Amino acid sequence: MDNAPLDFAYLDDDNFDYGTPKLPDFDCRSESPADRSQLQRSEPGLPLLQLADWNPNLPYNECPPTCVHYSIVWKLQLKKVRATKLTGDTERNLVLAPGAFWDRTLKSKLEDLLKKNTPPKKCYKPHETNIAVSTQERSETDLSMRFDEWNIVWKDIEDQLRAWSNFFRAGKKLTINISFFCMEETQTIAVSTQSAAGTAAQHVERDDILLQNTIWNDVYALMRCPGHPCKNQGGHCWRNPDSKKHFFLDGQVLTKLVRYAEEGNPLKTHKDVPEFIRELIYAKEQAASERKLKRKGSLCEGGPPIKIVNVLPPHYGQASMGAPPVAPARRPANFSIPNPRDKAIRAYCDWHCRQVDDPEWKQGFQKACAITLREGFDLRHVYQDQDVKIFVTNGVKPGIARSFIDDVEIWVKETKAS
Ligand SMILES: [Zn+2]
């Protein structure tokens, strides 16, 4: 994600034209460049009409123009994990000053559209507004501004239009691009405690992370295994609502559950786990028991059964309780770790820490990170070896160790996607 101030590129703006809208219906301004510079030197700027001076019944196609004309290109978006564009429009050839136009027309238009285009049970509130004022005059840079909610300081924008009025008179169009962001009310509260510092892009990025983490935390909390009689305490299980049987969940299934919730599906109880994810859970359980049988068989062939004493939690997939834990096989890692690899370990650790509140858990992840660095493993080794023991014997809690081992793939995918 680009952190440049007000970079509109991060938005979901396919089909959205940020180009300057077509010229107003009239255009009598065809001076030569020499005339233009003459104009800019000698003439005072054009006024911007306020409500008191503005007559809604006049066409304002006077030639030469007696006031500033400009356009507003706006879009209304919902801020979820990714911004979703609800609607947008271009208001061409405006002469009424933007602040007055907002009060008189645009604000109520947005309120109506927001109501009409969002689910009736959900309450969306204005969250943030990004504005860029631009002129076709290339020597001038855009004026970019960010406002909380819809608390737009129109005066600054109007001052800019006035300052550029001679460019307008010389044939350069003036445009205001506006992105209005709204959020579900509960979410707005969640992010409003964030500092007001930072660029708009950083804001969006950070808010997205916050939102993502909220869903992520909810899903992980729901699936957290309460333990006894299941031995997966600290890990994650899906409890079949009918049989009450625990099915261990690995990072892949948990990620699917998070995605499912992020798409807006209800996931409040174990009953809400959809059929396609249940099938995946059953398939993993089946494969795991087959692997276990195979290992048991090979142990028996090789002589008397060996009792493996192991205080570590059994690995994913061994859902039956009371079975002796078996050393995990190396699993393939079909991804590559971003370089430099030692830095990737630290970034991965930060990512884990952002997903938990408990300082002790954060410390656990930091410990796991330190062990990995000290032993010279890279994240691929961690993922492939599934060696919970090395972390646990060095003081990391088993559940933390498992998350640290299993979530590498998810992190790599998220890092590459962002
Ligand atoms: Zn369990």
CB count in 10 Å sphere of residue 84 = 13
Instruction: Calculate how far, in angstroms, residue 200's C-alpha sits from the geometric centre of ligand 1.
Output: 42
Residue 403: the pLDDT is 92
Tens of pLDDT, residue by residue over 355-371, are 888 888 999 999 999 99
On the question of pLDDT at 408 being above 90, the answer is yes
The residue among 184 and 249 whose pLDDT is bigger is 249
**Residue 64: which residues within 8 A CB-CB, separation 6 or more?**
28, 29, 169
Instruction: Calculate how far, in angstroms, residue 356's C-alpha sits from the geometric centre of ligand 1.
Output: 20
**Residue 308: which residues within 8 A CB-CB, separation 6 or more?**
324, 325, 326, 327
DSSP string over 225-267: ---TTSS-TTSBEEE-TTT--EEE--HHHHHHHHHHHHTT---
Q: Are 77 and 11 in contact (CB under 8 A)?
A: yes
Instruction: Calculate how far, in angstroms, residue 312's C-alpha sits from the geometric centre of ligand 1.
Output: 14
pLDDT-derived band at 65 (thresholds 50, 70, 90) equals: confident
Residue 204: the pLDDT is 55
Residue 91: C-alpha distances to residues 98, 136, 200, 350, 358 (Å) = 11, 17, 24, 45, 50
pTM reported for the whole predicted model: 0.38
Instruction: Calculate how far, in angstroms, residue 79's C-alpha sits from the geometric centre of ligand 1.
Output: 35
On the question of pLDDT at 206 being above 60, the answer is no
pLDDT mean over 142-163: 88
pLDDT-derived band at 143 (thresholds 50, 70, 90) equals: confident
Percent of the chain residues past pLDDT 90, beyond the cut: 25
Tens of pLDDT, residue by residue over 21-61, are 444 444 454 444 444 444 444 567 899 999 988 888 888 88
In whole angstroms, give the CA distance from residue 115 to residue 112.
Answer: 5
pLDDT mean over 275-296: 88
Instruction: Calculate how far, in angstroms, residue 334's C-alpha sits from the geometric centre of ligand 1.
Output: 28
H helices then E strands: how many in the chain?
15, 7
Residue 347: the pLDDT is 93
Instruction: Calculate how far, in angstroms, residue 226's C-alpha sits from the geometric centre of ligand 1.
Output: 6
On the question of pLDDT at 182 being above 70, the answer is yes
Tens of pLDDT, residue by residue over 380-392, are 889 988 888 888 8
Tens of pLDDT, residue by residue over 234-279, are 678 999 999 999 998 888 888 889 888 887 888 999 999 999 999 9
Instruction: Calculate how far, in angstroms, residue 369's C-alpha sits from the geometric centre of ligand 1.
Output: 26
The full set of domain ranges for the chain reads: 15-192, 208-301, 341-417
Instruction: Calculate how far, in angstroms, residue 322's C-alpha sits from the geometric centre of ligand 1.
Output: 12
Residue 200: the pLDDT is 57
In whole angstroms, give the CA distance from residue 283 to residue 2.
Answer: 40
Instruction: Calculate how far, in angstroms, residue 8's C-alpha sits from the geometric centre of ligand 1.
Output: 45
pLDDT-derived band at 77 (thresholds 50, 70, 90) equals: confident
Q: Are 5 and 67 in contact (CB under 8 A)?
A: no
The residue among 307 and 115 whose pLDDT is bigger is 115
Residue 186: the pLDDT is 63
Instruction: Calculate how far, in angstroms, residue 327's C-alpha sits from the geometric centre of ligand 1.
Output: 19
* Strands 70-79 vs 83-94: parallel, antiparallel or unpaired: antiparallel
Instruction: Calculate how far, in angstroms, residue 300's C-alpha sits from the geometric centre of ligand 1.
Output: 28
Residue with tokens 């004022």: 133
In whole angstroms, give the CA distance from residue 364 to residue 69.
Answer: 60
pLDDT-derived band at 202 (thresholds 50, 70, 90) equals: low
Instruction: Calculate how far, in angstroms, residue 76's C-alpha sits from the geometric centre of ligand 1.
Output: 44
The residue among 211 and 408 whose pLDDT is bigger is 408
Instruction: Calculate how far, in angstroms, residue 414's C-alpha sits from the geometric centre of ligand 1.
Output: 27
Residue 306: the pLDDT is 40
Instruction: Calculate how far, in angstroms, residue 248's C-alpha sits from the geometric centre of ligand 1.
Output: 6
Instruction: Calculate how far, in angstroms, residue 232's C-alpha sits from the geometric centre of ligand 1.
Output: 5
Residue 405 has which token pair? 């081992």
Residue 82: the pLDDT is 57
Mean pLDDT check: name the lowest of 151-160, 222-231, 369-378. 222-231
Instruction: Calculate how far, in angstroms, residue 321's C-alpha sits from the geometric centre of ligand 1.
Output: 9
Instruction: Calculate how far, in angstroms, residue 237's C-alpha sits from the geometric centre of ligand 1.
Output: 5
Instruction: Calculate how far, in angstroms, residue 233's C-alpha sits from the geometric centre of ligand 1.
Output: 6
DSSP string over 371-411: HHHHHT--HHHHHHH--HHHHHTTT--HHHHHHHHHTHHHH
DSSP string over 275-338: HHHHHHHHHHHHHHHHHHHHHHHHHHHTSSPPPPP--SPPPTT--STTPPP-PPPP----S-PP
How does the average pLDDT of the chain come out, rounded?
Answer: 76
Instruction: Calculate how far, in angstroms, residue 353's C-alpha sits from the geometric centre of ligand 1.
Output: 24
Instruction: Calculate how far, in angstroms, residue 247's C-alpha sits from the geometric centre of ligand 1.
Output: 7
Instruction: Calculate how far, in angstroms, residue 324's C-alpha sits from the geometric centre of ligand 1.
Output: 16
Instruction: Calculate how far, in angstroms, residue 372's C-alpha sits from the geometric centre of ligand 1.
Output: 27
Instruction: Calculate how far, in angstroms, residue 228's C-alpha sits from the geometric centre of ligand 1.
Output: 8
Q: How far apart are the first and last CA of the chain?
A: 6
Residue 213: the pLDDT is 63
Instruction: Calculate how far, in angstroms, residue 365's C-alpha sits from the geometric centre of ligand 1.
Output: 22
Instruction: Calculate how far, in angstroms, residue 157's C-alpha sits from the geometric centre of ligand 1.
Output: 58
